[in-house]
Structure 1
Amino acid sequence: MTARIYQQPKSAMQSGKAKTEIWVLEFAQSEARRPDPLMGWTGSGDTRAQIKLSFPTKAAAQAYAEKYGISARVHATPAKTLKLQAYADNFR
């Protein structure tokens, strides 16, 4: 059972930083997805791939994975860079 731990990025629809401090533990798929013969929808019998666990800190997510014997990889969060710009720079 493998999983990945990462910090949730902000969605493209939000301008603020709400819910970007949350760490997520997400299980990797254990079997390949395949199309359903009747409807053509893609799916698999792996129910763990549907689970996303949220934690307040990276340490809490790692402790959970260690407690339950889950081998987890931690994906580092890229550094946030701010482009400071004045409104007057739009007219130069």
Structure 2
Amino acid sequence: MRECSRTLREVNGRKTMVARIYKPARNAMQSGVAKTKHWVLEYEPERPRQVEPLMGYTSSSDMKSQVRLRFETREEAVAYAERHGIPYQVAEPHEPARRRIAYSDNFAHARVGQWTH
């Protein structure tokens, strides 16, 4: 479980939730990067979800956890948070290093790995 006290910040004498601004990662099940080009602002959960004892459903009374705003750039997301007085944390994206490999490298004499066919 995540400790929830770190997601609350006191602003002007009242506790408010901290928003997280990040660039979503690529889906591990697909090779496309279509939904990773925008920035997302979403609130950290104020408290953990509760499990309903009879059916086992999870629920939350935290309505801000349903808010997910998309922006074209990081600066737009930060400007929105500052304009509305929302405390925020920016998570910088991790860009993977791309290796360029040609098909002919499979048949090279100086091949590092063993032939698998």
Query: TM-score, normalized by length of structure 1?
Result: 0.88
**Does the alignment pair 1:78 with 2:94?**
yes
**2: distance between equivalents of 1:42 and 1:56?**
32
In the other structure, the counterpart of 2:14 is none
**2: distance between equivalents of 1:12 and 1:57?**
23
**Does the alignment pair 1:55 with 2:71?**
yes
Point out where structure 1 has 5 or more consecutive residues left out of the alignment: none
Amino acid at match of 1:41: Y
Deviation of residue 79 (structure 1)? 2.5
In the other structure, the counterpart of 1:64 is 80
Amino acid at match of 2:83: K
Q: Secondary structure at the match of 2:36?
A: coil
Percent identity, aligned pairs only, is 47
**2: distance between equivalents of 1:41 and 1:10?**
28
Deviation of residue 11 (structure 1)? 1.3
In the other structure, the counterpart of 1:39 is 55
Amino acid at match of 1:90: N
Q: Secondary structure at the match of 1:63?
A: helix
Bigger Rg over Cα: 2
Amino acid at match of 2:20: R
Alpha carbon RMSD of aligned pairs, Å?
1.5
In the other structure, the counterpart of 1:5 is 21
